[in-house]
Every structure is written in C-alpha cells, then in structure tokens.
Amino acid sequence: MSSLRPAHGIGFRLAHIEDDLTTTEPFGQDVLRALFAHGHGRARGGYPWQAVLPGWEPARLP
C-alpha cells in the first residue's frame, strides 16, 4: 500500500502506539481502555503523524 500511493497521488499518515506502552495484563477490555486512553492523550498533545511505516525507508522512485 505505501509503495503504490505516490504513483497514484495518495497521501499516507500513520498514528500508532509505540513501544512506550507496555502491559503484562492479558488482552481484554482493561487493556483496550488503557490503549485508547494512551492514544487519546497523545493525540490531544499534538501527536506527530508519520508518513512512512515504522522501520521502513521511503520508496525511491526512478
């Protein structure tokens, strides 16, 4: 998807939860609430959108 978007003039912006949120709880409603609260707090603080997937280099077009 990210490699096809420049050729078609499609923008890409990603917001994701980085490794700064960890839990040892089993995945369930409490973890989902914590994920939502964490993401919401970051968004309200001006979370910087990313233009490429984490760990990927932007595609180089000829």
Q: Is residue 49 part of a domain?
A: yes
Residue 58 pLDDT: 63
Number of domains making up the chain: 1
Residue 29 pLDDT: 93
Give, as one character, the DSSP assignment of residue 40.
H
Residue 13 pLDDT: 78
Domain of residue 3 covers 1-18+25-54
- Of 15, 13, 17, the C-alpha closest to 51 is 13
Asked if 61 and 6 touch (Cβ cutoff 8 Å), the reply is yes
> Which DSSP string corresponds to the chain?
-TTTTGGGT----B----TT----SPSSHHHHHHHHHHHHHHHHTTPPPBSS-TT-PPPPP-
Instruction: Kindly indicate the confidence band of residue 4, based on its pLDDT and cuts at 50, 70 and 90.
Output: low
Q: Is residue 30 part of a domain?
A: yes
Residue 33 pLDDT: 92
* pLDDT tens readout for residues 6-62: 666 777 778 777 777 777 888 899 989 988 898 888 888 887 888 777 777 666 655
